[in-house]
C-alpha cells in the first residue's frame, strides 16, 4: 500500500517517512494548504515551522502554543495561543 500526501499540485510519496518533517495539522481552503504546528511551549521559535515549505505552499501557517497572547515571529509567522482555538 502506497502512502502519499497531496499538495494540490502534486503527490508526494510519504511511504518511507525517514528524514521527513511532519506537520501537526493542515487545513485546505480555497485550493490552498495552511499548515499548523502545535507546541506545548509558551515561547516558540521560527525554526519550529521551518518545515512548512515541504508542503509546496507559499502560504505561511501558524504555530499554536501555550503563549498568553497572539504574536508574530519573523516577518509573517503568526503565533496563536491555544486558548483562542
Residue 30: pLDDT band (50, 70, 90) is confident
List the domain range (segments joined by +) for residue 59: 4-84
- Under a CB-based contact definition with an 8 Å cutoff, are residues 35 and 9 in contact? no
Residue 18: pLDDT band (50, 70, 90) is very low
State the total domains in the chain. 1
Mean pLDDT, residues 25-47: 88
Residue 85: pLDDT band (50, 70, 90) is confident
- pLDDT tens string 45-69: 988 887 777 666 556 789 999 999 9
CA distance 41 to 8: 31
Amino acid at each position: 500500500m502506497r502512502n502519499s500526501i497531496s499538495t494540490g499540485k502534486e503527490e508526494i510519496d510519504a511511504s518511507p517517512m525517514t528524514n521527513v518533517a511532519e506537520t501537526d495539522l493542515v487545513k485546505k481552503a480555497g485550493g490552498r494548504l495552511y499548515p499548523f504546528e502545535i507546541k506545548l511551549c509558551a515561547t516558540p521559535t521560527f525554526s519550529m515551522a521551518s518545515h512548512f515549505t515541504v508542503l509546496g505552499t507559499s502560504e505561511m501557517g501558524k504555530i499554536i502554543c501555550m503563549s498568553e497572547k497572539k504574536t508574530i515571529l519573523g516577518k509573517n509567522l503568526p503565533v496563536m495561543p491555544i486558548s483562542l482555538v
